[in-house]
Amino acid sequence: MPEPWPIEREERLRHLWAEGYSSGAIGLDLGYSRNAICGKIHRLKLPSPGIKQVAIAKPPPQPKGTEEPKGFSPNSLESRIVQPFLSAATLTQVRLR
């Protein structure tokens, strides 16, 4: 069984985590691996720094009749096809000359 963390290191971990340091940087400072720091943070149930948990509202539905036609997208394959500069008929005329 792994030995328990010293109280001083746990307090330092809490302080550095609250300051916004990454788990890798804290691991270098305390002499533990990044994964050990991540596990300890999880077991201590420390909040994620800088991430605010807010409810995300859904966008309001579009009124009927303003929707794009089904199957159309500005990024669809059909809109990205490059038309040839010369048509096949023009190419045959150029070759015959």
Side-chain-facing half-sphere of 3: CA atoms under 13 Å: 5
Helix axes 7-19, 34-44, angle to 10 degrees: 90
Above 50 in pLDDT, residue 82? Answer: yes
Per-residue pLDDT tens digits for 59-78 = 667 677 666 556 556 565 55
Residue 54 binned pLDDT confidence (cut-offs 50, 70, 90): very low
Contacts of 5 (CB under 8 A, 6+ apart): 13, 40
pLDDT per residue as tens digits for the range 9-40? 999 999 999 888 888 999 999 999 999 999 99
In the chain, what are the domain boundaries?
Answer: 7-44
Residue 41 has a pLDDT of 94
The SS3 of residue 53 is: coil
